[in-house]
Structure 1
Amino acid sequence: MKTKVAIIGAGPAGLTAGYLLSKEDVDVVVLEADPVYVGGISRTVTYKGFHFDIGGHRFFSKSKGVEDLWTEILPNDMLVRPRSSRIFYDGKFFSYPLRPFEALLKLGIFRSALCIVSWLKARLFPVRNPRNFEEWVSNQFGKRLFNTFFKSYTEKVWGMNCKEISADWAAQRIKGLSLGSAIKNALIPQRYNGDRSKVIKTLINSFRYPRRGPGMMWEACAEKMKALGGKLEMGYRVTRCSYDEVSGNWTVEYKNRQGDLHTIEAEHIISSAPMRELTCGLSPAVSERTKRAAESLKYRDFITVMLILKDRQMFDDNWIYIHDPSVKVGRVQNFRSWSPEMVPEPDKVCYGLEYFCFEGDGLWDSTEHELIDLARRELMQIGLAKEGDFIDGCVVRQKKAYPVYDDDYARHVATIRLELETRYPNLHLVGRNGMHKYNNQDHAMMTAMLCVENILADAKLYNLWQVNSDAEYHEQGPAAAEETNGSALRLVPNRVVAAPELAPEA
């Protein structure tokens, strides 16, 4: 079989590229390893009529192009939902983003006074040139509020001490938010005036959401692509990509559900597959140096335990962040609050308890029964359920949910990029795992949209690595350099680099 473009992965990036290319009458084949679901981590899992969002996906982007594409794909099925989330700490629930007056009231007069003094101290005597997450957040909120509302959850998610996480990551993921901006927003709530570039994402109070979860968007995208002539092959796992220097074409090898080996020829490959696996599966093989770099890339994995319960109207938030170190759960989703159609029975609720782990550790290797039992116990410990409430449950494991940025990740990615761009023409990396960049689905979509423009023009009009975390493209220049060396590559915490020591004076 031959095609113009072979796309690896039917997530937001892969399907965006497939749909847009099909609109331009370009032959496209999308190969997806999952035998059932499209959407990647943005899929919607169904269990006995209940719908589950893996990770929680708010449909809001600073990019008008991305917003318009969502509307084009799913014009009549997007709800506008109120954003509601809270933090659970010390047996109490606090609104998030933090409402300073509510938070201080619930903390009590004495602790609140200490928090205010701590914040004032941080403003008057900030840590100069903060190097780690703890120092950066403490500068913005004070040390006491950091310990209360940031430390435990962050360490659960990343499995790292906050003193080991670079300040760069805090500056990008909590961009624009401080105690001062939170107080201002409490007094004068942020209003969306149509200019997405001025919105602090952390403070948005509403978002769009498909009626039956994010997977509905990507299922519709896949159907539109197929209606235009694009092909989608489910349960097809790519094993090797071979480049012929003479013809300039690619041969993609893949196995179907039965394990039979097949091949497809293509002029271009668009890959959203994990960078590590793609690089190690190229032929001719990459250099030993690049292979070692690829094998050094790491990922953080993710488990969602879905529980169906009797509806006791315990909470109506989209999700609750669990800042309690006595439980392992990091976040609890209420799927009805995302969309009423996610839960088919009015007298029941459906919660998703999220656990962050590494593939192969004790939590990941637990049985489904053990994980459901753990989730039930912790939900009762938090106070969101009682013993007789539980009806059913299931477990979804998500490998490679978050690319990890360790000490050498940037060097490894740069090594891989250089060789791939030099030796393998028409191989295009897009999306979160394809580029080893922890960004949201709008960023993944934008990399695919610009990749399509490059293919249609048969020229490198856009450098996909210059798409920033807000799905905005920066031309070459100081801003582009900042994004390429900063947020475009550092949206997962990386460890602090030790400051160079000065030579002793003679």
Structure 2
Amino acid sequence: MKSMGSIRTMRTAGAGSDKGECETDADVAIIGAGPAGLTAGYLLTKAGLSVVIIEKDDTYVGGISRTVEHEGYRFDIGGHRFFSKSQQVVDLWNEILPDDFIERPRMSRIYYEGKFYSYPLRAFEALGNLGLWRSTLCMASYLKHRLMPIRDVKSFQDWTTNQFGAKLFSIFFKTYTEKVWGMPCDEISADWAAQRIKGLSLWNAVMDGVKRSLGLNKRPNDGQAVKTLLETFRYPRLGPGMMWETARDKIVATGKGEVAMGHALKQLAEGPGGTWRVTAKHGRTERTITARHVISSAPMRELAARLHPMPQTVPQANDLKYRDFLTVALMIRADDLFPDNWIYIHDSKVKVGRIQNFRSWSPEMVPDEAMACVGLEYFCFEGDRLWAMGDDELVRLATHEMKVLGLCNPDDVTGGVVVRQEKAYPVYDEAYAANVDAMRVELEEQHPTLHLVGRNGMHRYNNQDHAMMTAMLTVENIIAGERLYDTWCVNEDAEYHEAGEEGADKALPARAEGAPARQVPSADQAAALASVRAVPERLPNRAAA
């Protein structure tokens, strides 16, 4: 059977009503137009395959990496630096957006009790700000836990206490982490700490500081033994959404791809011969996409509830938790408020967890040089008090908290807007790993042509480049007709995310166990191979286990 090559659509009218139905055939159906879904769509259409991407948002692509525009002001849903150790990811960014990257200085700090601390912590600066007495207590606590560490490390609190001591944990990790996750640190998996702050060492920071004071070390005192902290990063001049809007447009321009906005997944069912039927709702209209493969970046819990027949592991999937958050963007009369890209707020007097300064990300994000635009990020659960507050009330709260923190005069705030983001972060609680593994095993055994990608699709706190890599490897597997790469190994090494050399990793990672050796082709070779593969026959029914 030949590859579709282009999308075939048939429309029918609902009998006796205005409910229309639309049926579409494509080689691959993709759920979600975030970085993972759009990366897969871009590479598949480039290879000559037809795709339909459904996205429940009716306005923006990019998921949490989108850029929202309000009266000429642009702001991220969280900040998204464009840095990756993978050369393939860097090359793809450059291919999609070749002329619109700018180089930006990186600066972030921690705010605690009216003082700023560099992030990552610089030992001498931190201890100096804390004062002699508290510094002594911090060092005593650190030495105690280095000599007598917690043996059975299960939680974020255990891991971080062993690494920094109980006193520094309580000052620099506890308040902020519990704001982010809405749960005690002793209920958060140690995986979270290992993934996000591995490589930071108080002892290395102190030794670096001593050497610098003696003129023996000129490297930044960042507490890392070998790695060098990023001092600059690349960024699209109009925000990360610029990347994903361009990717969408390139997919559509091929004539082989469609991005269906405002379409929410209703049901996913595998029929005879392994053909998938994806049903999506768009207002009062239902649409069905028939495809040989499905790529899903939908939250694992939602996918399980909509998969037919329903997986046996639905109870485990239902136990997966997500953290939501909202951004309150304030427009303030000021040429600039502070130099940081963002500030972590480790202060229990306010609810805000992090503040973004969008002019520091890109001057083009703010249309008026006499104005500043900042985004106050509040971590919450959908339906709780913060989430349910009205927009005007949230703008007043954010304005008041900027005053409490001493960051601006409320009289200078000229306006504000609120953006709510559901399921921003997959929660790493004590049971998450077992629940994810159970779901993964069942899906891989029973549905080898259903591929999970991205942060929520795999319930892993992946960065943007890691989400893209899971999609890139999935596309390689689909085109090859066999499981060449294990997508679940992406980001498994828990490497510190803000250090290293861009593009240092030249080859695709995560070869599946038992997969045949396969040299990674150049970009031109890959395109040629893909076009040859796409023409003779349609994608295989089942990927090799």
Q: Does TM-score exceed 0.5, indicating one fold? A: yes
Which of the residues 229, 244, 247 maps onto 1:221? 247
- How far residue 27 of structure 1 moved from its aligned partner, in angstroms, is 0.8
- Residue equivalent to 1:49: 72
- Residue equivalent to 2:500: none
Q: Would you say the 8 A contact 2:477–2:485 is kept in 1?
A: yes
- Residue equivalent to 2:541: none
- Residue equivalent to 1:209: 235
Deviations 1:195-230 (A, max 9, x none): xxx746xx3222111101111111111122222222
1:225-374 equivalent positions in 2, closer than 5 A: 225-229=251-255, 230-244=257-271, 246-256=272-282, 258-283=283-308, 285-287=309-311, 289-311=312-334, 313-374=336-397
SS in 2 for 1:314: coil
- Residue equivalent to 2:187: 164
- How far residue 312 of structure 1 moved from its aligned partner, in angstroms, is 5.8
**Normalised TM-score (structure 2):** 0.81
Unaligned stretches of 5+ in structure 2?
Answer: 1-23, 221-225, 496-504, 514-545
Amino acid at match of 1:242: A
- How far residue 13 of structure 1 moved from its aligned partner, in angstroms, is 0.2
- How far residue 80 of structure 1 moved from its aligned partner, in angstroms, is 1.4
Q: Greater shift after overlay, 28-37 or 117-126?
A: 117-126
- Residue equivalent to 1:489: none
- Residue equivalent to 2:123: 100
- How far residue 147 of structure 1 moved from its aligned partner, in angstroms, is 1.8
Amino acid at match of 1:243: E
Deviations 1:120-175 (A, max 9, x none): 33334433454432332233223222222111101111112223333332122111
Amino acid at match of 2:353: G
Q: Greater shift after overlay, 168-177 or 116-125?
A: 116-125
- How far residue 475 of structure 1 moved from its aligned partner, in angstroms, is 4.1
Q: Using the alignment, how far apart are the partners of 2:37 and 2:114 within structure 1? A: 43
- How far residue 22 of structure 1 moved from its aligned partner, in angstroms, is 1.0
SS in 1 for 2:273: coil
- How far residue 328 of structure 1 moved from its aligned partner, in angstroms, is 0.6
Amino acid at match of 1:286: M
- How far residue 377 of structure 1 moved from its aligned partner, in angstroms, is 0.8
- How far residue 476 of structure 1 moved from its aligned partner, in angstroms, is 5.9
Amino acid at match of 2:87: K
**Normalised TM-score (structure 1):** 0.87
| Root mean square deviation of aligned Cα | 2.0
Q: Would you say the 8 A contact 2:486–2:512 is kept in 1?
A: no
Q: Using the alignment, how far apart are the partners of 1:264 and 1:135 within structure 2? A: 48
Q: Using the alignment, how far apart are the partners of 2:394 and 2:118 within structure 1? A: 28
- How far residue 11 of structure 1 moved from its aligned partner, in angstroms, is 0.4
Q: Using the alignment, how far apart are the partners of 2:41 and 2:145 within structure 1? A: 50
Q: Using the alignment, how far apart are the partners of 2:163 and 2:73 within structure 1? A: 41
- Residue equivalent to 1:500: none
Deviations 1:182-201 (A, max 9, x none): 3456644658xxxxxx746x
- How far residue 233 of structure 1 moved from its aligned partner, in angstroms, is 1.4
Q: Using the alignment, how far apart are the partners of 2:512 and 2:30 within structure 1? A: 28
Q: Greater shift after overlay, 467-476 or 376-385?
A: 467-476
Instruction: Indicate whether 1:397 and 2:424 are aligned.
Output: no
Amino acid at match of 2:252: K
Amino acid at match of 2:245: E
Q: Would you say the 8 A contact 2:77–2:327 is kept in 1?
A: yes
Amino acid at match of 1:385: C
Q: Would you say the 8 A contact 1:468–1:474 is kept in 2?
A: no
- How far residue 411 of structure 1 moved from its aligned partner, in angstroms, is 2.5
- How far residue 294 of structure 1 moved from its aligned partner, in angstroms, is 2.2
Q: Would you say the 8 A contact 1:276–1:297 is kept in 2?
A: yes
1:8-19 equivalent positions in 2, closer than 5 A: 8-19=31-42
- Residue equivalent to 2:453: 430
- How far residue 4 of structure 1 moved from its aligned partner, in angstroms, is 0.5
Q: Using the alignment, how far apart are the partners of 2:37 and 2:441 within structure 1? A: 23
Aligned residue pairs, count:
465
Q: Greater shift after overlay, 9-18 or 64-73?
A: 64-73
Q: Using the alignment, how far apart are the partners of 1:474 and 1:435 within structure 2? A: 15
Q: Using the alignment, how far apart are the partners of 2:129 and 2:237 within structure 1? A: 35
1:440-455 equivalent positions in 2, closer than 5 A: 440-455=463-478
Deviations 1:425-470 (A, max 9, x none): 4111111111111111111100000000011011111121121256
Identity among equivalent positions (%) equals 58
1:29-48 equivalent positions in 2, closer than 5 A: 29-48=52-71
Q: Using the alignment, how far apart are the partners of 2:423 and 2:401 within structure 1? A: 25
Q: Using the alignment, how far apart are the partners of 1:189 and 1:60 within structure 2? A: 24
Q: Using the alignment, how far apart are the partners of 1:445 and 1:181 within structure 2? A: 33
Which of the residues 87, 96, 103 maps onto 1:80? 103
Q: Would you say the 8 A contact 1:12–1:218 is kept in 2?
A: yes
- Residue equivalent to 1:486: none
Q: Would you say the 8 A contact 1:35–1:236 is kept in 2?
A: yes
Q: Using the alignment, how far apart are the partners of 1:136 and 1:418 within structure 2? A: 28
- How far residue 420 of structure 1 moved from its aligned partner, in angstroms, is 1.8
Q: Using the alignment, how far apart are the partners of 2:258 and 2:485 within structure 1? A: 26
Q: Using the alignment, how far apart are the partners of 1:99 and 1:343 within structure 2? A: 31
Deviations 1:103-135 (A, max 9, x none): 222222332233333333333443345443233
Q: Would you say the 8 A contact 1:190–1:204 is kept in 2?
A: no
Q: Would you say the 8 A contact 2:292–2:449 is kept in 1?
A: yes
